[in-house]
Amino acid sequence: MALEIERKFLLPEYPERLLEAGELKILTRQTMEQTYLAIDGAQELRVRKITDLDTGEITYTHTFKDGKGISREEVEYSISAGLYDQMIEAVQAVPLIKTRLTGIWNGVTVEIDSYTQLELAVLEVEFESLEEAESFEAPAWFGKDVSVERQYSNKTVWKELQAKG
């Protein structure tokens, strides 16, 4: 199983100045509709509908994750629109919707997620090793490190959305 090693930061404001100055270069812009099929402790099973905002291309993924904290096991693969629709129909849940900008800042790939249904924006950085993740010095504009704060995990935010919905 593949290992996902990432740190997450609570983005205090959209980095418009860095974009305008060319210090943050956008690679992709996507919207994601994310729905959990099952959550059991540290394990989660989810599907995503991903729309590329520049090309209009739509893709679908199915993901299994296991673990807590900055290092978790992850298996993700593409699925068909039909299979995605069947799973969404089966769970009858409200998807978590976010816009993701993937960019390069100072040689580091960053993902900025802005959530549609709530006032929340986070920035994630993925790493090749736990040592690299732990030694990474985040700049102040990333905001507070919330990598291990469960209330900022997608599955927690999604559960709260279901309670409202």
Dihedral-angle region of residue 82 (phi above 0 means left; psi in -120 to 50 means alpha; beta otherwise): alpha
In angstroms, rounded to a whole number, what is the distance separating the alpha carbons of residues 3 and 113? 21
146-159: pLDDT as tens digits: 999 988 999 999 99
Q: Are 110 and 24 in contact (CB under 8 A)?
A: yes
Stated pTM of the model = 0.94
Sign of CA dihedral 157, 160, 164, 165: positive
DSSP string covering 13-51: S--HHHHHTTSEEEEEEEEEEEEEEEEETTEEEEEEEEE
11-44: pLDDT as tens digits: 999 999 999 999 999 999 999 999 999 999 899 9
In angstroms, rounded to a whole number, what is the distance separating the alpha carbons of residues 115 and 69? 21
Residues of the chain with pLDDT under 50: none
In angstroms, rounded to a whole number, what is the distance separating the alpha carbons of residues 47 and 61? 6
